[in-house]
Amino acid sequence: MSRDRTRLVRTRRTWRGIAGAVTAIVLVGGGFAVANASTDTRTGKSAAGVKRPVDKKATGTAAVVSAANEFLNTLDADQQASTLLDLTQANATAWSNLPCGSSCRPGIQLGSLTDTQLAAAMKVLKLATGTGKNTGYDQITQIIKADDVLNSAQSTSSAGPAPSDTASSTASADPSATDTATATPTSTATDAPTDVPTGTPPSGGTGGGGLGGYGSGVYFLAFLGTPSATGTWQLHFGGHHLALNLTYKNGKVAGASPFFVGVEPTTWTDDDGTTYSPLATMRDGLLALTGSLSTEQLATAKLSESFSDVLLGPGQDGQFPETKEGIKVSTLSPKQKQLVLKAIHPWIANVDDATAKKLMKTYEHELNQTYVAYSGTTALDTQGDYVRIDGPGVWVEFVCQNGVVYRDQIHYHTVYRDHTRDYGSEFTFS
């Protein structure tokens, strides 16, 4: 059996439901700039023949770099070319909340990987992100699982094609939609961690636009710049309802944003009886904060605008409002100030715990210059309910939208930005 044929069989085993004779190598689309990944500049050898250094005892950022190298060592030259890209503004800002596959994001597709490659890819993400419940790596894997729920619900629905994931959907309720939708089970890899997401990617498995982008196989991992403890590079990962952008400079995280996350359905119960609510910690922190405000404080925090989506989503880099709105945190009680910090933390916890702790200290120092605002109601259960936290650095938005596949429910969009640290301050936006 040829190497390509062997890889195809393995891919089908891991991601059951990929239709057609697709190869396991998915080249990056959309004209993304490819770095010189296929040749080692020191030896001139093919990248597939050069083993990158792996240090099993490394910690911190060095461990992330080692895991990235370990993953790259599992790839052939073509796959490495899909994964190792130039750190350019065009590549870094290529992320979306839509199920648009490789047409709107760079990198190698998870659904194209073998069991071993998938486990290595997820190891990178696990080491780079936070360890808390419903935050960091745990939240990321739940968002990916949610896409399998969407894919399963859409494929079994008798209501016909649903609209694409936009804020303006007004379609009627989907009779097949319930809050106990079940993700399609798949075989698990013996060499993969138990928390590696599995599920059925959509038919075709290569991404693309519209509803063809639902499923755990349609997520993409890219390294923008070469992973190292001395240079500048970015870990770029995402798919529908997820965009993770971690920028490293000289062995430290220089930026943990933009971080976009959304979920539909907002909660569900899997076949094994496990209930998932990946954005519950974010929502509950905001509910506690707004619930602490007096009637007078709520009147000050109320925005005159209405919102159907987050302001600073994909393609809105640097578009922060010139004037801060809402209630200034310096006017709040000490207890309320602590609730603001507690509300911010779940977004910052997308990055590793040590970096998140440093960022939180910065945002605490800036707390008195931070504002809290809302639109709609503070219940966060109706289309247009919206909460914002805007400081000198931190920017958090959370909005409720009508469901797309689960049309009788709402779903959430939220984004974390930083006024000065987005993309590690590598780019300037007008």
- Scanning the structure block, which residue is given the tokens 């052939």? 76
Question: Is the pLDDT at 22 greater than 90, yes or no?
Answer: no
Residues in contact with 3: Cβ distance below 8 Å, sequence separation at least 6, in sequence order: none
Q: Which stretches of 129-254 are DSSP H helices?
A: 136-156
pLDDT, residue 155, reads 75
Give the other-Cβ count within 10 Å of 323's Cβ.
7
- The structure tokens listed for 143 are 């968002």
Name the 3-class secondary structure at 251.
Answer: coil
Band of pLDDT at residue 197, cut at 50, 70 and 90: very low
Strand partners, 109: 220
Secondary structure element (H or E) that encloses residue 272, with its range: none
Q: What percentage of the chain has pLDDT greater than the value 70?
A: 76
Q: What is the pLDDT of residues 399-427, one digit of tens each?
A: 999 999 999 999 999 999 999 999 999 99
Residues in contact with 98: Cβ distance below 8 Å, sequence separation at least 6, in sequence order: 104, 164, 165, 209, 213, 240, 314
Least confident of 125-134, 192-201, 372-381: 192-201
- The structure tokens listed for 405 are 């596949």
Distance CA 275, CA 261 (A): 19
Q: What is the mean pLDDT of residues 125-129?
A: 98
Question: Is the pLDDT at 268 greater than 80, yes or no?
Answer: yes
Q: What percentage of the chain has pLDDT greater than the value 90?
A: 73
pLDDT, residue 49, reads 65
Question: Is the pLDDT at 360 greater than 80, yes or no?
Answer: yes
Per DSSP bridges, beta strands 220-224 and 84-85 are parallel
Type of residue found at 370: T
pLDDT, residue 66, reads 98
| Dihedral pair phi/psi, residue 46, rounded to 5° | -60, 140
Name the 3-class secondary structure at 249.
Answer: strand
pLDDT, residue 212, reads 56
Question: Is the pLDDT at 139 greater than 70, yes or no?
Answer: yes
For the chain, the average pLDDT equals: 82
Q: Is the dihedral of CA 57, 59, 62, 66 positive or negative?
A: positive
Q: What is the pLDDT of residues 28-72, one digit of tens each?
A: 333 444 444 443 433 334 455 689 999 999 999 999 999 999 999
Question: Is the pLDDT at 24 greater than 50, yes or no?
Answer: no
Q: Which stretches of 16-135 are DSSP H helices?
A: 60-73, 77-83, 89-92, 115-128
DSSP 303: -
Q: What is the mean pLDDT of residues 342-357?
A: 98
User: DSSP of 104-130, one letter per residue?
Assistant: S--SEEGGGS-HHHHHHHHHHHHHHB-
pLDDT, residue 154, reads 81
Distance CA 227, CA 279 (A): 30
Band of pLDDT at residue 291, cut at 50, 70 and 90: very high
Rg of the chain over all Cα atoms, to the nearest angstrom? 21
* Residue with the larger pLDDT of the pair 284 and 197: 284
Distance CA 363, CA 235 (A): 23
Question: Is the pLDDT at 321 greater than 50, yes or no?
Answer: yes
Q: What is the pLDDT of residues 161-178, one digit of tens each?
A: 444 455 333 222 222 233
- Contact between 414 and 398 (Cβ < 8 Å): yes
Type of residue found at 191: D
pLDDT, residue 299, reads 98
pLDDT, residue 353, reads 98
Question: Is the pLDDT at 325 greater than 60, yes or no?
Answer: yes
- The structure tokens listed for 104 are 């709107």
pLDDT, residue 165, reads 57
Distance CA 103, CA 250 (A): 31
